[in-house]
Amino acid sequence: MNDSFPRFDMLATPKRQKLRPIAWAISYPDVWAHRARITKIDMADVKPPYLLLCNHNAFLDFKVTTAAIFPHRANYVVAIDGYTTPTKRGFTSREWLMRTVGCICKRKFTNDAILVRQLNRVVKHGDIAVLYPEARYSLCGTNAILPESLGKLCKLLKVPVVSLIMHGHHVNSPFWNLHERGVKPTEAVMTRLFSAEALAKASAEEVNAAINAAFTYDDYAWQRERGIRISYVKRAEGLHKVLYQCPNCKAEYRMNSDGTELFCTACGKRWEMDELSDLHATSGETEFAHIPDWYEWQRANVRREVEAGTYSITCPVGVESLPNAHGYINIGSGTLTHDMDGFAVRVSGDYGTFEMVKPVPSLYSCHIEYNYLGKYGDCVDLNTLDDTWYCYPRDCDCSVTKMALATEELYQNHMRKLKSE
């Protein structure tokens, strides 16, 4: 990007959290409205400092986390777009507020040594370091891939490691349709995974194994087991963003949704989403009643493309940059290619011509948005340590969900090849 745009100061020392009563006042009404049940396991003698690892499904996560750690002080790792807010005239920075309430800025899916230093400062102050290691809202209420570096981070911080796994937040407000469904009661389980002493004796691989075991969840299974019904009449709208391939005719990018129905515009098959979020074909076989099963079937199809070396998507894109907290900058139009080599984006506009290349080994996953900010539609955002590009596909058949799945499968395929050499 053009050097004339100032960059977010990632080196600024994290502030100890202030305005806690305001955070409580903002959080507790929703916590009470959803009758959130917070269960604590092996937490009786756990006091700050510690590292708190939370799953990520909706904005409600932050409010329940605030209640779970009450009354203690914390610093939260937050993505760069959390520091800017839309207004009638565009966007404005809320960096001062975010820093004051203890937030630490991070650009998603980057190897950021600065963040390690920031978190180390937090625990040395005697506070809680809160991290959402999935780094994005779950697309279908199940756990996402965690970074392999997480175990090493825990070892470096040398403080107890605690998980907070929240249930019901995705089905209450799914990433693909954020309308509040009024799900209650929601549940959260806060568990000490490692004491400082146990952490010192464990290997990074053992720490990763324990965290991954804790981060195994399925919000749709949770809903069904508890018999929580959702009567929202548009409960299926937007689901085609996640379930982009028809299991009946195998066509991609022809799925759509309306009201309580999901349907394929290529073959005409339709599925009804019931109040327990199960899918039922209106005629013929119900290929997948459970939403995550359909999603994982798509992943398996993408994996086959990757293993065959045939995966490739090229599409025209419009690109906006977010170099700091003052708002998005339209840097022009260009082409995004995602293939066996990774991402390559080339764009030209009023500020010049730019390129961002993210090879396969540099991304174990990526972040996507559906109808981001209500502006240009779906997008994939790609990050360097000092910039974030929001890439919006235009006038083409593609799915940002498929790009997200392919990013993960390309990385796993790369790692398998490395291990076999």
Residues 60-112 pLDDT 10s: 999 999 999 999 999 999 999 999 987 766 778 889 989 998 999 999 999 88
Say what the pLDDT of residue 4 is.
64
- Alpha carbons within 13 angstroms on the beta-carbon side of residue 344 total 7
**Which amino acid would we find at residue 373?**
L
Q: Are 284 and 246 in contact (CB under 8 A)?
A: no
Say what the pLDDT of residue 85 is.
84
Tokens found for residue 413:
């395929």
| Rounded distance between C-alpha atoms, residue 192 and residue 42, angstroms | 6
Task: Please say whether the dihedral angle defined by the alpha carbons of residues 190, 195, 198 and 201, taken in this order, is positive or negative.
Answer: positive
User: pLDDT (tens digit, 9 = 90+) per residue, 361-388?
Assistant: 999 999 999 999 887 899 999 999 999 9
Who wins on pLDDT, 17 or 90? 17
Residues in a beta bridge with 194: 161
| Rounded distance between C-alpha atoms, residue 100 and residue 84, angstroms | 14
Say what the pLDDT of residue 22 is.
87
Closest C-alpha among 255, 371, 327 to residue 85: 327
Say what the pLDDT of residue 215 is.
98
Average pLDDT over residues 244-272: 98
User: pLDDT (tens digit, 9 = 90+) per residue, 386-418?
Assistant: 999 999 999 999 999 999 999 999 999 999 999
Q: Are 93 and 83 in contact (CB under 8 A)?
A: yes
pLDDT band at 19, cuts 50/70/90? confident
Tokens found for residue 32:
């009470």
**For strand 128-131 and strand 255-258, is the pairing parallel, antiparallel, or unpaired?**
unpaired
Q: What are phi and psi of 347, to 5 degrees?
A: -145, 145
User: pLDDT (tens digit, 9 = 90+) per residue, 159-170?
Assistant: 999 999 999 999
Is the predicted pLDDT of residue 210 greater than 80, yes or no? Answer: yes
The helix-helix angle for 291-308 and 400-420 (nearest 10°) equals 50
How far, in whole angstroms, is CA 402 from its chain's centroid?
A: 15
Task: List the strands of the sheet with 367-369, edge to edge.
Answer: 352-359, 342-349, 329-339, 312-321, 388-393, 379-383, 367-369
Is the predicted pLDDT of residue 283 greater than 80, yes or no? Answer: yes
For 154-295, strand residue ranges (E) read: 161-167, 187-194, 255-258, 261-264, 270-273, 279-281
Closest C-alpha among 265, 273, 236, 234 to residue 248: 265
- Assigned CATH topology for domain 311-420: PH-domain like (2.30.29)
Is the predicted pLDDT of residue 1 greater than 60, yes or no? Answer: no
Average pLDDT over residues 145-162: 97
Say what the pLDDT of residue 88 is.
66
**For strand 50-54 and strand 161-167, is the pairing parallel, antiparallel, or unpaired?**
parallel
Cβ neighbours of residue 357 closer than 8 Å, sequence gap 6 or more = 342, 343, 344, 345
Q: What are phi and psi of 259, to 5 degrees?
A: 60, -115
DSSP string of 137-168, one letter each residue: --SSSBPPPPPTTHHHHHHHHTS-EEEEEEES
Cis amide bond preceding 71, omega within 30: yes
Is residue 79 classed as helix, strand or coil in its secondary structure?
A: strand
Tokens found for residue 305:
């493309």
**Which amino acid would we find at residue 104?**
I
Say what the pLDDT of residue 91 is.
79
Domain ranges of the chain: 20-226, 239-274+278-306, 311-420
Q: Are 62 and 214 in contact (CB under 8 A)?
A: no
Tokens found for residue 373:
């900010």
pLDDT band at 114, cuts 50/70/90? very high
Task: Please say whether the dihedral angle defined by the alpha carbons of residues 278, 292, 59 and 238, taken in this order, is positive or negative.
Answer: negative
Share of the chain above pLDDT 90, in %: 88
Is the predicted pLDDT of residue 42 greater than 60, yes or no? Answer: yes
Say what the pLDDT of residue 3 is.
61
Is the predicted pLDDT of residue 2 greater than 60, yes or no? Answer: no
